[in-house]
Structure 1
Amino acid sequence: MNILSLLSALLLAGVFLGACGIEEVEENPNSDQVEVSKKEMESSTEKAAEKSSSLELMEHQSVGDFLTDADGRALYYFANDEPGTSNCSGECLENWPPFYAEHLNDVPQNFNKDDFGTITREDTEDKQTTYKGYPLYYFVKDESPGDVHGQGVKDLWYIVNSDTTFK
């Protein structure tokens, strides 16, 4: 009877912990993809939209200068996008949340403020900031200011700088 009581207690503990909303970010070792909860992704994107009213230029040893939000988070473009259209949706957005800044007050030297705009995403109806028409994204594996872990992922994701030529 003690074993049955122990198993029941463990089962109840598991149900209780599951109900508490504990979420994990799991990494698949065979992929450049990361699984992130939708709630976490939305929270990250909302916070970025609230704070990001200026863009910065940072430098990294391996990629040179690159565009960031006001917090130093790298901004990327997706080579499969087209001007005015995002082709990243569903699972793609879990790893590459859209960047949105309602009002860009400042852009770095060598950038033209008129090259920045917004689109309304067809899948979510959310706004997304663009550079020369191409939607901008974050990468979830960039955890600290100045990280550029998304550069060159699957030969489709690239940082943005004033010399960017869209593929």
Structure 2
Amino acid sequence: MSDTSLGSIVVDGTGMTLYMFTKDAPDTSACEGDCLVKWPPLLGKPKAGAGVDDSKLGSFTRKDGREQATYNGWPLYYWFNDKAKGDTTGQNVGSVWFVLDRDGNPIKK
């Protein structure tokens, strides 16, 4: 978890912001092909860091066979324009990409 202007949000172990895609379903990614160029998935089984609800962490196998991390069932992604920890430039892109709060709900600010 990291404190930002959007509130406390889910980040990876290095502090990079993670996003969810509203077109996804629990443990299912709708982001394929060109989408993955701008929204690379967080791959592997996630480990809980400070403030994260460990019971909400999970993973699933993508159609391409790679394991993608989830939080509260939402597949997790990076945004290619975020360059440093704390960046949240992917927030509300296309009105479908959002950061997540500790409960695993999208923050729609």
Asked if Structure 1 and Structure 2 have the same fold, meaning a TM-score greater than 0.5 normalized by the shorter chain, the answer is yes
Task: Count residues in correspondence.
Answer: 107
| Amino acid of the structure 2 residue aligned with 1:148 | T
TM-score, structure 1 length as denominator? 0.59
| Amino acid of the structure 1 residue aligned with 2:56 | D
SS of 1:68's equivalent in the other structure is coil
Q: Which residue of 2 aligns with 1:119?
A: 60
Are positions 1:144 and 2:84 aligned together?
A: yes
Structure 1 gap ranges (5+): 1-56
User: Greater RCO between the two (CA within 8 Å, min separation 6)?
Assistant: 2
| Amino acid of the structure 1 residue aligned with 2:78 | Y
Q: Which residue of 2 aligns with 1:58?
A: 2
User: 1:132: how far off?
Assistant: 1.4
Q: Equivalent of 1:135, from 59, 65, 75?
A: 75
Structure 2 gap ranges (5+): none
User: 1:84: how far off?
Assistant: 1.3
Percent of matched pairs sharing the same residue: 35
Moved over 3 A (4+): none
Q: Which has the higher helix share?
A: 1
User: 1:73: how far off?
Assistant: 0.5
User: 1:85: how far off?
Assistant: 0.5
Q: CA RMSD, aligned part only?
A: 1.7
Which structure: larger Rg? 1
Are positions 1:154 and 2:106 aligned together?
A: no
| Amino acid of the structure 1 residue aligned with 2:21 | F
SS of 2:36's equivalent in the other structure is helix
